[in-house]
A and B are shown apart, each in its own frame.
Chain A
Amino acid sequence: MSTTAFLTDSTLCIGCKACEVACKEWNQLGEDGLEWSGNSYDNTMAVGHSTWRHVKFVENPPEIGRGGNAAEQLPAWGFSSDVCKHCEVAGCLEACPTGAIVRMEFGAVFIQPDICNGCSYCVVSCPFGVVEKNEDDGRAFKCTFCSDRQRAGLQPACAKACPTESIKFGQLEDLRREADERLKVLDARGVTDAVIYDPKQSSVKGIHSLFLLRGDPRTYNLPPNPEVPTTYLKKAWQSAAVAAGAMLGVTLLAFLGGKR
Chain B
Amino acid sequence: MPGLGTSYGRGGATTAQQDLQYSDAILIMGSSMAENHPVGFQWVMEAREKGAKVIHVDPRYSRTSAMADYWLPLRPGSDIIFLGALIKYVIDHEKYFREYVVHYTNASTLLRDDFRDTEDLGGIFSGWNQEEKQYDPKTWLYEGSPSKASGGVFAGHSKHGGGHGKDRGGEAGDLGEHKNDPSLENPRCVFQVLKKHFARYTPELVESSCGIPKEKFLEVAEVYSSASGPEKTGAICYAVGWTQHSKGPQIIRAAAILQLLLGNTGRPGGGVMALRGHATIQGSTDVPTLYDILPGYLPMPFFEDDSNTLDTYLKKHTSAAGWWNNFDKYAVSLLKAWYGDAATAENEFGFHFLPRVTGDHSEYGYWLDMADGKLEGLFVMGQNPAVGAANGRLERSALANLKWLVVRDFVETETAAFWKDSPEVQRGELDPKKIATEIFFIPAAGHAEKEGSFTNTQRLLQFHEKAIDPPEDCRSETWFMYHLGRRLKAKAAKEQTSRNAALNALTWDYETHGRHAEPKVEEIIGEINGYRVNDRTLVSGYKELKSDGSTACGCWIYSGVMPAPAENKARKREPKGRYGHGWGYAWPSDRRILYNRASARPDGKPWSERKALVWWDADEKKWTGHDQADFTEDKAPDYRPEKGARGDDAIAGDKPFIMHPDGVGWIWVSSGLKDGPLPTHYEPLESIVANPLYPEHGTNPAADKKERPDNAYAFPSGDERFPYLLSTYRLTEHHTGGGMSRYLPHLAELQPELFAEISPQLADEIGVRTGEFLTVTTMRGILEARALITERNQPLVIDGKIRHTICLPYQFGYKGLVTGDVPNDLLSLSEEPNVRIMETKALVCNAHPGRVPKSAQALKIWRRDLRRTA
Contact = CB atoms under 8 A, between A and B. Distances in A.
B818 A15 contact: no
B152 interface: no
Contact of A43 (B65, B67, B749): B749
A14 interface: yes
Contact of B38 (A18, A25, A35): A18
Given A14-B38, A77-B792, A163-B39, A41 B751 contact: yes
B70 A35 contact: no
A65 B216 contact: yes
A77 B66 contact: yes
Nearest to B61: A62
Contacts of B56: 67
Interface in B215-259: 216, 219-220
Contact of A62 (B55, B731, B732, B794): B794
B181 interface: no
A118 interface: no
Interface SS majority for chain A:
loop
A165 interface: yes
30 contacts: A12-B45, A14-B38, A14-B41, A14-B67, A16-B34, A16-B63, A17-B732, A21-B750, A31-B746, A31-B748, A34-B752, A35-B752, A36-B752, A38-B771, A40-B788, A43-B749, A43-B750, A44-B749, A62-B61, A62-B791, A62-B794, A67-B54, A67-B66, A68-B68, A69-B48, A69-B54, A76-B65, A76-B792, A78-B66, A164-B45
Interface residues of A, number: 41
B67 A68 contact: yes
Given A31-B749, A35-B752, A164-B45, 12 more contacts: A17-B733, A25-B746, A33-B749, A36-B755, A38-B786, A43-B749, A60-B791, A65-B216, A67-B54, A67-B66, A77-B63, A79-B63
A75 B753 CA distance: 26
Contacts of A66: 70-71
A67 B38 contact: no
Nearest to B70: A67
A77 B68 CA distance: 11
A65 B71 contact: yes
Given A31-B748, A64-B216, A164-B45, A59 B791 contact: yes
Interface string A40-69: 110110000000000000011110111111
A70 interface: yes
The 5 A-B pairs with the shortest beta carbon distances in the complex, nearest first, are A67-B68, A68-B66, A31-B745, A36-B753, A65-B216
A32 interface: yes
Interface in A67-97: 67-70, 75-79
Most chain B CB within a 10 A radius of its CB, from A15, A67, A163: A67
Nearest to B796: A64
A258 interface: no
B750 A69 contact: no
Given A34-B752, A43-B750, A59-B790, A64 B732 contact: no
A20 B750 contact: yes
B747 interface: yes
Interface string A155-197: 0000000011100000000000000000000000000000000
A30 interface: yes
Most chain B CB within a 10 A radius of its CB, from A20, A64, A75: A64
Contacts of A35: 752
A76 B751 contact: no
Given A43-B752, A67-B65, A70-B69, A164 B791 contact: no
A230 B794 CA distance: 49
Contacts of A75: 66
B656 interface: no
Contacts of A36: 751-753, 755, 771, 786
A24 interface: yes
A16 B67 CA distance: 12
Nearest to B219: A65
A16 B45 CA distance: 14
Contact of B817 (A20, A34, A61): A34
A35 B212 CA distance: 36
B173 interface: no
B42 interface: yes
B735 to A, nearest CB: 12
Given A64-B72, A67-B56, A15 B66 contact: yes
Contacts, number: 140
A132 to B, nearest CB: 16
A149 to B, nearest CB: 18
Size bracket of the B interface: 35 or more
Contact of B750 (A38, A44, A64, A70): A44
A65 B63 contact: no
A31 to B, nearest CB: 4
Interface of A: 12, 14-18, 20-21, 24-25, 30-36, 38, 40-41, 43-44, 59-62, 64-70, 75-79, 163-165
B92 to A, nearest CB: 21
B208 interface: no
Given A62-B794, A77-B65, A16 B71 contact: no
B770 interface: yes
Nearest to B770: A38
B66 A76 contact: yes
A258 B824 CA distance: 82
A163 B41 contact: yes
Contact of B791 (A44, A65, A76): A76
A30 B65 CA distance: 32
B288 interface: no
Contact of A70 (B70, B73, B747): B70
Contacts of B749: 31-34, 43-44
A113 B56 CA distance: 47
A189 B74 CA distance: 28
A64 B71 contact: yes
Given A16-B34, A17-B732, A18-B38, A69 B753 contact: no
B634 interface: no
A104 to B, nearest CB: 26
B283 interface: no
A41 B70 CA distance: 22
B750 A17 contact: yes
Contacts of B55: 67
B71 A67 contact: yes
B216 A59 contact: no
A180 B652 CA distance: 55
A68 B792 CA distance: 12
A24 B63 CA distance: 23
Contacts of A165: 42
A78 B61 CA distance: 12
B119 interface: no
Nearest to A78: B66
A65 B70 contact: yes
B219 A14 contact: no
B76 to A, nearest CB: 16
Nearest to B215: A65
B63 A14 contact: yes
Contacts of A59: 790-792
B182 interface: no
B377 interface: no
A38 B67 contact: no
A62 B745 contact: no
B788 A62 contact: no
Given A16-B63, A34-B818, A79-B66, A62 B750 contact: no
B582 interface: no
B849 interface: no
A40 B770 CA distance: 10
A67 B69 contact: yes
Interface string B54-94: 11100001010111111111000000000000000000000
Nearest to B791: A61
A230 B811 CA distance: 49
Contact of B790 (A21, A40, A67, A68): A40
A62 B71 CA distance: 9
A25 B750 CA distance: 14
